[in-house]
C-alpha cells in the first residue's frame, strides 16, 4: 500500500542566483502531525510562488524508489527533502499518476495531481552546480520528476500515513507524458 514516508518543510531559506534571490528548496523531514492548508504544509515556504508554488503547486511529492535510483547515480545519500519535496512517498508511481488523479493521505487530507516538476536552474545549483553539469537535462531525460499536487481537502498528515488513490481520470495524461509533451 502506498505510504507517506515523511512530510518535509523548509529548513532554511538559501541565497540563490535566481530572480527571487532566495530559494526554499532546502527541505527537511519533520516529526509529528503537520497541518496541510491550501498552500501546502504549515511552516513551509514558497519563496517563488510564480514558478514553484501557488495553489496548483501547493505540495511536491517525490517517490523513495526514484530517490534510491538517484542515490546510486550520484553516489551519495539523499535524505527526504533533498529534492525540495514536501512529501517523500513510497509504493506509488508519482510519474505515472494521471493529471486530475485524487489521493487521500491519512484520514482527511485529499490532494489532486496537477503537473510534473520541471527541473530548473535553482534545482541544478542545489544539486551541485559545476559538479553535476547537465543536471536539468539528465533529470528530465530520466523521467523521475515527481508530481505537484493541489490540496482539495485540508487536515493533518503524519509520517507513516497511508495514501489511497481515490479516483483516476481514465483519459488524462500521466505526469510524465505531460512533461514529455
Q: What is the pLDDT of residues 40-71, one digit of tens each?
A: 999 998 877 777 778 999 999 999 999 999 99
For residue 92, is pLDDT > 80? yes
**Half-sphere CA count of 121, side-chain side, radius 13 A:** 7
Predicted local distance difference test score (pLDDT) of residue 131: 53
For residue 129, is pLDDT > 60? no
CATH match for 3-180 among 1.25.40.10, 3.30.870.10, 2.40.33.20, 2.130.10.10: 2.40.33.20
Predicted local distance difference test score (pLDDT) of residue 130: 45
Let me know: does 125 contact 17? Beta carbons within 8 Å. yes
Rounded Cα–Cα distance for residues 156 and 148 (Å): 18
Sheet holding 155-157, edge to edge: 40-41, 34-37, 155-157
**Half-sphere CA count of 47, side-chain side, radius 13 A:** 20
**What pTM, to 2 d.p., does this model score?**
0.94
- Classify each residue of 160-177 as buried b or exposed e, where b means 16 or more C-beta atoms within 10 Å of its C-beta: ebebeeeeeeeeeebbbe
> Grid coordinates standing for 107?
484520514
Amino acid at each position: 500500500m502506498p505510504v507517506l514516508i515523511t512530510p518535509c518543510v523548509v529548513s532554511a531559506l538559501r541565497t540563490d542566483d535566481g530572480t527571487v534571490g532566495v530559494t526554499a528548496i532546502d527541505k527537511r523531514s519533520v516529526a509529528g502531525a503537520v497541518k496541510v492548508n491550501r498552500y501546502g504544509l504549515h511552516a513551509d515556504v514558497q519563496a517563488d510562488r510564480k514558478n514553484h508554488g501557488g495553489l496548483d503547486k501547493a505540495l511536491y511529492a517525490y517517490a523513495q524508489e526514484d530517490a534510491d535510483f538517484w542515490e546510486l547515480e550520484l553516489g551519495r545519500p539523499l535524505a527526504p527533502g533533498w529534492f525540495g519535496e514536501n512529501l517523500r512517498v513510497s509504493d506509488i508511481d508519482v510519474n505515472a499518476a494521471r493529471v486530475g488523479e485524487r489521493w487521500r493521505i491519512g484520514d482527511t487530507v485529499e490532494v489532486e495531481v496537477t503537473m510534473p516538476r520541471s527541473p530548473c536552474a535553482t534545482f541544478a545549483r542545489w544539486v551541485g552546480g559545476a559538479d553535476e553539469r547537465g543536471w536539468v537535462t539528465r533529470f528530465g531525460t530520466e523521467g523521475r520528476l515527481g508530481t505537484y499536487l493541489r490540496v482539495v481537502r485540508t487536515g493533518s498528515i503524519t509520517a507513516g500515513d497511508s495514501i489511497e488513490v481515490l479516483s483516476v481520470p481514465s483519459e488524462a495524461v500521466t505526469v510524465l507524458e505531460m512533461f514529455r509533451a
